[in-house]
Amino acid sequence: MTPSPSLLGARRLVAAALLLAVPYVAPAADAPGRPAIVDDAVGILRLFDEFVSSGAAASRCAQPDDASATRFLSNFQWVSTHATLEIGRQWSSDGLEAAAELARRSQAVKERTHALVRAEGCEATPVRELVRRFAAQASWKREG
């Protein structure tokens, strides 16, 4: 069965959400003397990881429509911006170093999620939970 153009567009949007919002660059973690990133009181870094993992699972196991994929991307970009600011605050660094660290973090989360999908399949409970989270994150109406 050939996917519809709408489905293909939605999958591309999900992939773009993961690639455009946080392009992969050399990890800042390789920089000597950098402290480990710790989750902040608000939990924006955990939220970032959850967006990355749900987006990675949905890109392999779901067929979101264009509207859902677009809403997810918008929310993910907002979370990514705030996660970058949090890393910059913790490291007292510029946006480029923080973005590089966030890209490294994103890549690691995607790799773990894709490994989970390969090992357990799309019907496994943890993977289905990630896909459900994608839907919730797409419908999230944030304040501010």
Tell me the average pLDDT across 39-45: 72
pLDDT in tens, 6-18: 444 444 444 444 3
Domain ranges within the chain, ordered by starting residue: 5-21+39-139
> For residue 94, what are the contacts with CB-CB under 8 A and spacing of at least 6?
88
Tell me the average pLDDT across 127-136: 95
SS3 19: helix
Decide if 134 contacts 113 (C-beta within 8 A).
no
Mean pLDDT rounded to a whole number for the chain: 78
Kindly provide the b/e burial profile for residues 68-78, where b requires at least 16 CB atoms within 10 angstroms of the residue's own CB: bbbbbbebbeb
